[in-house]
Amino acid sequence: MSKKLEGKIALVTGGGTGIGLATAKRFVAEGAKVVITGRRKEVLEAAAREIGPAATAIQADSGSLADLDQLYAEIKQLHGKIDVLFANAGGGKFATIENVTEEQFDQTFDSNVKGVFFTVQKALPLIPDGGTIVLNASVVSVKGIPAFGVYNATKAAVRSFARTWTNELKDRKIRVNVVSPGPIDTPGMDGLGANEEERKQFKAGLAQQVPLGRIGESDEIAKTVVFLASDDSSFVAGIELFVDGGMVQV
Ligand SMILES: NC(=O)c1ccc[n+]([C@@H]2O[C@H](COP(=O)([O-])OP(=O)(O)OC[C@H]3O[C@@H](n4cnc5c(N)ncnc54)[C@H](OP(=O)(O)O)[C@@H]3O)[C@@H](O)[C@H]2O)c1
């Protein structure tokens, strides 16, 4: 069977761990060359070694416009274009409305909203007509998970961008879609528990909220991102594809 991304150049932000790393691996398996970004250099370089010679690691904070300018200058030199952009970098921490600090609010919006916006804006000159953009939101774009209000709001904003950009980029035949994972077993999810016992309980609690009765694996998101990034989804635009074991729909 022919590969779905043969000869394509892909950028995966936050590609050093979790969903981003799994997707970068899938992109390469489908014939693409991939650039992965993240803030921690060692994590990123280990990931690039794990993916193999088709991967390049470039340290960049998506929330920093200077870092993004540097990133795109390097990609321009290296590959000259970006056919597939997976804006995946992001994260959040628990805090109820009474406890959210200005710093936490700004950090979360910088990574998840400002970061996604300028990651896409500044990539546009490198994306050829017919390119694809996939944004990583979350089921929380349509849910009010308590003590997660700032994160929930950032993901609703990400979902909104895909609607507007589908219209704004249609003349260039650039398709924009959102993948919205349910609970997925990643280092990011592990970071939400203080210790092993808390993590186990947290994951078991989440699994109970999923009709399929379990939390998901990063590769289950990666497969969906390949679909949205490739020609298999040629008439799919502006959607939010929930990959959540039925959590939102059932
Ligand atoms: N796991 C879930 O259950 C779940 C569910 C729905 C949505 N998501 C979304 O999926 C995406 C990936 O998360 P994950 O679960 O795979 O967690 P993860 O393992 O923590 O992956 C996130 C990656 O993004 C990088 N990153 C974070 N902020 C960044 C920034 N400002 N600039 C550049 N890189 C940044 C992190 O590396 P550095 O810290 O080194 O920068 C990390 O490698 C996130 O957007 C998350 O909100 C996850």
Q: Which atom of ligand 1 is nearest to the CA of 110?
A: 31
Residue 1 has pLDDT above 90, yes or no: no
Q: In a 10 Å sphere around its CB, with 0-12 CB exposed, 13-18 middle and 19+ buried, how is residue 183 labelled?
A: buried
CA–CA separation, 35 vs 28, rounded Å? 10
Arithmetic mean of pLDDT, 152-157: 98
Residue 16 has pLDDT above 90, yes or no: yes
Domain ranges (residues) in the chain:
9-181+217-242, 189-215
Catalytic residue among 27, 72, 151, 165: 151
User: What is the tens place of the pLDDT at every residue in 40-51?
Assistant: 999 999 999 999
User: What is the tens place of the pLDDT at every residue in 106-146?
Assistant: 999 999 999 999 999 999 999 999 999 999 999 999 999 99
Q: From atom 28 of ligand 1, which residue's Cα is the shortest distance away? A: 90
What is the CATH T-level fold of the domain 9-181+217-242, as seen in this structure?
Answer: Rossmann fold (3.40.50)
Q: In a 10 Å sphere around its CB, with 0-12 CB exposed, 13-18 middle and 19+ buried, how is residue 96 labelled?
A: exposed
Question: 30 alpha carbon to ligand 1 midpoint, in Å?
Answer: 22
Tokens read off for 224 = 């969906």
Question: 156 alpha carbon to ligand 1 midpoint, in Å?
Answer: 16
**Is 72 among the catalytic positions?**
no
- CA 250 to chain CA centroid, Å, is 24
Q: 3-state DSSP call for residue 35?
A: strand
Of 18-32, 185-199, 214-228, the range with the lowest mean pLDDT is: 185-199
Give the sheet arrangement for strand 9-12, strand by strand. Answer: 55-59, 33-38, 9-12, 84-87, 132-136, 175-181, 240-243
Say yes or no: CB of residue 115 within 6 Å of ligand 1. yes
Arithmetic mean of pLDDT, 150-159: 98
The mean pLDDT of the chain is 98
Q: With a threshold of 0.95, does the pTM exceed it?
A: yes
CA–CA separation, 151 vs 92, rounded Å? 5
| Cα angle value 72/85/21 (rounded, 5°) | 100
Question: 12 alpha carbon to ligand 1 midpoint, in Å?
Answer: 11
Residue 31 has pLDDT above 80, yes or no: yes
User: What is the tens place of the pLDDT at every residue in 62-96?
Assistant: 999 999 999 999 999 999 999 999 999 999 999 99
Q: What does the pLDDT read at residue 10?
A: 99
Q: Which atom of ligand 1 is nearest to the CA of 111?
A: 31
Q: In a 10 Å sphere around its CB, with 0-12 CB exposed, 13-18 middle and 19+ buried, how is residue 31 labelled?
A: middle
Which one, of 218, 221, 216, lies nearest residue 241 by Cα? 221
